[in-house]
Every structure is written in C-alpha cells, then in structure tokens.
Copies of this chain bind each other. A is one copy, B any other.
C-alpha cells in the first residue's frame, strides 16, 4: 500500500512520458488521416510504443481521440490566455502594439501545432462528438472571446478607441487580422511569418480606421499616407 505517491499517477515517470508521447502522436495521425482513417498501429509506431501499450493507457480508439481533443483544448486555451495577457492596455503606439498582439495571437495560438490540430479536429469530427465539442466551445471560445472583448472595452474606456459593442469589435478584429490567411487556413497550411505580419498590419490599419480616435483632419491624412507606404 504505497500511499505516498501522487494520487492520480500510479506508476511513476516513464509511464506518463509514454502517455504524452501517445497522445502527441495520436494528434498528428488523427489530424492527417481523420478519425476513421487513423490507424492504431501507425500511432503506436509514431509514438515508439507497442500497440498494446496504447490499449493499456486509453482503452480504445474513441477514448484515445477524446483524450487528444481534451489535451489540445487545454494547451490551446493556456496559450491564448497567456497571449491575451500581453494585450496592450496602455499602448504607446496603438497601431504597432495591436499589430504585435495580432501577430503573437496568430503565431502562438492559431498557426502553431496545437492550434492547427485542434482546428482541424473540430472541423472534421466536430459533428460526430457533439458533447465533446460543446465542452470545447464553453472552455475555448466561450471564455476567450469575452476576455479579448474586455481588453478592447478597456482601450475604449481609456479613450484609445471608439467602440459601441466590444464583443462585436473583438470578433471583427480577429476577422480583419486573419482576412488574408483564410485560404491557407482552409487547406490546413501554415502561413509564412511575413504573410501573418502583412495580414495583421492591413487588418489593424482598417480596424483603426473604423474605431480609432481621429485626432483631426490633418492627422488622418497623415495616417493614410503612412498606410499606403
């Protein structure tokens, strides 16, 4: 009776390492091949474990899939909240700061491995697991959107922006900032760094044209001259 080990992990270390390795490889294969097309033997090979070990850890293919999605959701959420924490609450250069935020959000949350995988799994298998993806929706969009909207509300309150509905503004911000990346996302590809920057720059400029405080007629001319450069 060894009661001194941590309660939820009975075997010590290599065990967890394998569990992680399995979930990681499974994510890769499920994304590449789809649930039906994914092959347990292939996952095992990619993880460097035997097939039996997968069954020992996860029971069956469906449970493994659920574990993968839960894992990705958790990691993606963590990444998004970490990035939201870098939102420019007191911007020096509003345009530059918002572009920086948009680029970080894209690079660290949307275009990275976890983001790409989670997005694809939601798109491909979302309808097959309604409860699972309802859970994702609550934990993910349900919590991140309000968080982002609150930051924009704060910018508006601080006099940096003119916004009626912060929730709408937040969604439109993301829509604008990713406007040029849609086709790439569709095909599951990763945009190059310069494409991300370009899309973010164009998106933020339009966003500020719509919601930015215009100081005077002269400065808005300045702004558009800058934009066309």
Contacts and interface: CB of A to CB of B under 8 A. Distances in A.
Contact of A188 (B120, B127, B211): B127
Given A32-B127, A36-B37, A120-B123, A180 B187 contact: no
A29 to B, nearest CB: 12
How many copies of the polypeptide does the oligomer hold?
Answer: 2
A180 B145 CA distance: 11
A106 interface: no
A159 interface: no
A168 B202 contact: yes
Interface in A171-229: 171-172, 174-176, 178-180, 182-183, 186-188, 202-203, 206-207, 209-211, 217, 224, 227-228
Given A123-B187, A127-B188, 20 more contacts: A32-B127, A33-B36, A34-B34, A34-B35, A34-B36, A34-B37, A35-B37, A120-B124, A124-B124, A133-B187, A137-B187, A165-B202, A168-B180, A171-B179, A172-B176, A172-B202, A174-B182, A206-B211, A207-B210, A209-B210
